[in-house]
A and B are shown apart, each in its own frame.
Chain A
Amino acid sequence: MNDRKTIRIALTKGRLEKDTVGLFEKIGYDVSQLRDKGRRLILEIPGADIEVVLAKAADVITYVEHGVCDMGVVGKDTIDEHGGRFFEVCDLGFGRCRFALAGQKGFDFYKGCGVKTIATKYPNVTRRFFEAKGMDVDIVKIEGSVELAPLLSLSDGIVDIVETGTTLKENGLEVYEDVSPISARVIVNPVSMKLKKTAIENLIAEMEKNI
């Protein structure tokens, strides 16, 4: 955190970025730089004392946690998986989907007493989910299309983000159980929240009003 009175907000690149920029436009900010950004990663909203940083989801948390960005917009999925010390002050409502436990259609996941194997990109979310059930599972971390794992019999099920369920359906998989809901959240660094309270609260209020 440098000597700056501007608010620096980190946006998760991609869809959340587009939705947030749309929200900024609705508030009435000049988003021309954000629309026409080229390859730049730090952008300004002229006349609003807001600086926008574009980053990957998990990095948004890291930047906010260290206080180099005051605020961030990031998916609840990343917050649940990554954790960290920050304030989570607002649910923006967009980017809505859910974590779900899924697997081959017709398979009774909870049947039998053998230890099940779960493939996932979100090992922490998965571990917590089964810990709460008091169930031991083997977790396999997968980087790409997790749906492959049960099809290739690497795992009994997957824990992944489900939006419409189309990918699952097309691959003969189905949701067994919802794990938790996901949407875009506004996070704030605790020190920034205290030092720039008015400015940050005003911005959040504007965002909430225009959701």
Chain B
Amino acid sequence: MKSYDLITPEGTRDLLFDECVARKNEEEKLRAMFTAHGYSEVITPALEFYDVFNMKARSFKQEDMYKLVDGKGRLMVMRPDSTMPIARIVATRLRDSAFPLKLFYSQNIYRCNPKMAGRDDEIMQSGIEIIGGDEKRSDLEALCLAAEVLNSCESTDVRFEIGDNTFYKYLLKKLELEDDEETVRLLIESKNTPELKIYIENNVKKDSPEKAKAAQILSELPTLFGGAEVFDRAEKLFGGTVLLDSLYELKETFRSLCKLESGDKITVDLGLVNKAEYYTGIIFRGYIEEYGQAVISGGRYDTLIGSFGAQDMPAVGFAANVNAIAAAYLRKNTQPLSKRADILVYAEDDSLIDGIRHCNSLAKSGVSAEFCACSSLEAAMQYAKANGIKHLEVVDCNAEEKIVKIGL
């Protein structure tokens, strides 16, 4: 039988030294940021029941999840997302807590990606959720915190993008296209305007002026992205429909954000329609130039907690892809991050415990000291040289000078 004991599964990797330090640094940076803003950390199990993720409002395809079976034959998954488990907690254990709740997490998620595409199947995500708060305030807080995370990324250029899928959902309903939702959604998500127009031409009955108007708006939705000018175009296009109110709200949010950040880094895309069953309002994303996909993704999901049997509760949150942020950092900074010990302590055969004691006292005083596991002084010197350790201290309790310092 072929044995796979020397490699890791595709989409996963070992992180060594600098990679490891960079990942942990980014994670710690985000943790500090979230804690400083009053968020409390939660950890959820990596293994969850399949049912937690298997509902329409939860937007996960079964083929995208790693599955296994528990002792009783029940289907389980490696969590593909942290928001659903948190919604589960809020709907159960935290049901009676004092809302709004501000939670954050920092943990791996698992996605079964198409193979040979160079994508991570195991992704470290750090993110926040604001649950049960006033919508306007929560939206703005989540957006600003996400923008802060994005700005902390090591990148030559970043973009923060907001959208709102209320427009899309309204149009879909108006045009009675709900049964064919996925087709329409994919056309809009991939900004495939030519095919979207053909699709609308063939599938929409424009039997009333309202419907004709809605069809026109839907066909232009993918093109409504860019800077503040998008709002002018959209206002003209949406004129006379109920969509204007939501548009003005989004415009106000956009303006508030621009006050916080330089305006040219903030864009709007009314064609953001990912996870349409799940998001119920504002959607936002963060991009860095060094990574081909969004590094931050979030939005409002007011019906999710209700789908776990609790009352519907306004909620907004986002997740940041720590793998991608750390990788971007490493690409920019070639300086080594992981440090070897300052001092190597070599102890003679009958002074081993004295050597360890010396090491401990050095470490306590704030310098890093490594107890040498080599059996001769010569080997110890070679080891120090190979690892770039500049100081060697030799402990010998029988000698006149119990500790001899050697500079290398």
Chain B 107-121 interface 0/1 with A at a Cβ cutoff of 8 Å (1 = within) = 000000010011000
* In-complex Cβ contact of B292 among A88, A89, A189 (8 A): A189
Of all chain B residues, the one with the shortest Cβ separation from A93 is B194
Check A99 for interface membership: any CB of B closer than 8 A.
no
Q: Which stretch, B66-74, B77-85, B233-241, B283-291, touches the partner chain A? A: B283-291
Contacts known (A3-B156, A66-B118, A83-B114); A191 close to B291, Cβ less than 8 A: yes
Chain A 64-102 interface 0/1 with B at a Cβ cutoff of 8 Å (1 = within) = 011110000000000000011111111100000000000
* In-complex Cβ contact of A195 among B117, B225, B287 (8 A): B287
Beta-carbon contact of A194 and B161 below 8 Å: yes
| Complex contacts, A3 vs chain B, CB 8 Å | 156-157, 289
Q: How many residues of B contact A (CB 8 A)?
A: 25
Beta-carbon contact of B292 and A193 below 8 Å: no
* In-complex Cβ contact of B193 among A2, A68, A89, A195 (8 A): A89
Beta-carbon contact of A191 and B191 below 8 Å: no
Check B293 for interface membership: any CB of A closer than 8 A.
yes
* In-complex Cβ contact of A190 among B156, B192, B226, B294 (8 A): B294
What range describes how many residues of A lie at the interface?
20 to 34
Q: Once the chains are docked, how many angstroms separate the CA of A84 from the CA of B292? A: 12
Beta-carbon contact of B290 and A91 below 8 Å: no
Q: Once the chains are docked, how many angstroms separate the CA of A83 from the CA of B294? A: 18
Beta-carbon contact of B292 and A91 below 8 Å: no
Beta-carbon contact of A197 and B293 below 8 Å: no
Q: Closest approach, in angstroms, between the C-beta of A195 and any C-beta of chain B?
A: 6
**Footprint of B on A, CB under 8 Å?**
1-3, 62, 65-68, 83-91, 188-191, 193-195, 197
Beta-carbon contact of A1 and B117 below 8 Å: no
Counting residue pairs across A and B whose Cβ atoms lie within 8 Å, the total is 63
Check B138 for interface membership: any CB of A closer than 8 A.
no
Beta-carbon contact of B192 and A88 below 8 Å: yes
Q: Closest approach, in angstroms, between the C-beta of A67 and any C-beta of chain B?
A: 3
| Complex contacts, A197 vs chain B, CB 8 Å | 225-226, 267
Beyond the given pairs A1-B291, A67-B292, A87-B190, 4 more chain A to chain B contacts, judged by CB atoms under 8 angstroms and listed by A's residue number, are A66-B118, A87-B192, A89-B192, A197-B225
State which residues 153-188 of B face A: CB under 8 Å: 156-157, 159, 161
Q: Once the chains are docked, how many angstroms separate the CA of A1 from the CA of B226? A: 20
Beta-carbon contact of A190 and B195 below 8 Å: no
6 closest Cβ contacts across the A-B interface? A67-B292, A87-B191, A88-B192, A191-B287, A91-B194, A3-B156
| Complex contacts, A195 vs chain B, CB 8 Å | 157, 159, 287, 289
| Complex contacts, A194 vs chain B, CB 8 Å | 159, 161, 225, 267, 269, 287
Most buried by A among B117, B161, B195: B117
Q: Once the chains are docked, how many angstroms separate the CA of A179 from the CA of B195? A: 16
Q: Once the chains are docked, how many angstroms separate the CA of A87 from the CA of B225? A: 13
Q: Once the chains are docked, how many angstroms separate the CA of A125 from the CA of B291? A: 29
Q: Once the chains are docked, how many angstroms separate the CA of A194 from the CA of B160? A: 9
| Complex contacts, B192 vs chain A, CB 8 Å | 87-89
> Could you show 23 A-B contacts with beta carbons less than 8 Å apart?
A1-B291, A2-B290, A62-B117, A66-B292, A67-B291, A84-B117, A87-B190, A87-B191, A87-B192, A88-B192, A89-B191, A90-B194, A91-B194, A189-B292, A190-B287, A191-B288, A191-B289, A191-B292, A194-B159, A194-B269, A194-B287, A197-B225, A197-B267
